[in-house]
Amino acid sequence: MDYGKAFTYPFEDKEWVPKILIGGLLNLVPIVNLAVIGYALRIVKNVADGMERPLPNWDDFGDYFVKGLITFVAALVYALPVMILGGLMGVFSALTGYDTSGSQQFSPFVVCIWGLSCLSGLYSLFLGLILPVAFGKYAISNEFGAFFRLGEIFRFIASNLGEYIIAWLLTLVAFFIAGFGTILCFVGVVFTEFWAILVGPHLLGQLFRRSATPVMPVAPAPPAEPVV
């Protein structure tokens, strides 16, 4: 894994300036910014395919938008349990008058609300771990069903666990760094945030490329010649 490459590869492209400018501006527009998701998916596939310059052009906007929309729908399906838990919490809160101040008297309803809140948090963390791989599976195969092949997703994470956790954390680091774009009076963060979006797909593409590369067996050493 070349972790540093994920942070620098956009600037190796001769046309990185217009590509990042366009991406940063599109990312500001609701609905239209779904194309940014599709663009990121293309990067995953480009890196997995071993392209030397994986930063795509913006000449296939329609395909990026459609794939981004499909990915958004899949994410909504995954998020249904969180929505249901949130609805249940709302019902219990309305029935008990519970708020987050902690001043309510201890009761079974309050315990239920706390329990639902914990479940929602744990499931959200679970989604944060598996969704990148689910999205990558779709980027590679271009099949909607790839989002929900949980067995394949879990096996991929298990077989690349160390590198995947590092990649996941480095993606968070990229977004932290991108936050310093606010120093340029918000204008800078528009483009640094898009740069941060590009880091994760490259790391994920490297993982997919690595997992698809067969490990060559080590040839056995020739038998030693008998000493005469």
pLDDT of residue 186: 52
For CA atoms 17, 18, 21, 26, the dihedral sign is negative
The per-residue pLDDT string of the chain (228 residues; one tens digit each, 9 = 90 and over) reads 889 999 999 999 899 999 999 999 999 999 999 999 999 999 999 999 988 888 999 999 999 999 999 999 999 999 888 888 777 766 666 666 655 555 455 556 566 666 767 877 788 888 888 999 999 999 999 999 999 999 999 999 999 999 999 998 999 998 888 877 655 545 567 788 899 999 999 999 999 998 875 444 444 545 555 554
pLDDT of residue 86: 74
What's the one-letter identity of residue 74? A
pLDDT of residue 153: 93
pLDDT of residue 214: 47
Residue where the block lists tokens 């070349």 = 2
C-alpha 168/C-alpha 66 separation (Å) is 26
pLDDT of residue 149: 92
Q: Which of 219, 200, 223, 218 is nearest to 47 (CA)?
A: 200
The 3-class SS string of the chain reads CCHHHHHHHHHHCCCHHHHHHHHHHHCCCCCCCHHHHHHHHHHHHHHHCCCCCCCCCCCCHHHHHHHHHHHHHHHHHHHHHHHHHHHHHHHHHHHHCCCCCCCCCCCHHHHHHHHHHHHHHHHHHHHHHHHHHHHHHHHHHCCHHHHHCHHHHHHHHHHCHHHHHHHHHHHHHHHHHHHHHHHHCCHHHHHHHHHHHHHHHHHHHHHHHHHHCCCCCCCCCCCCCCCC
pLDDT of residue 225: 56
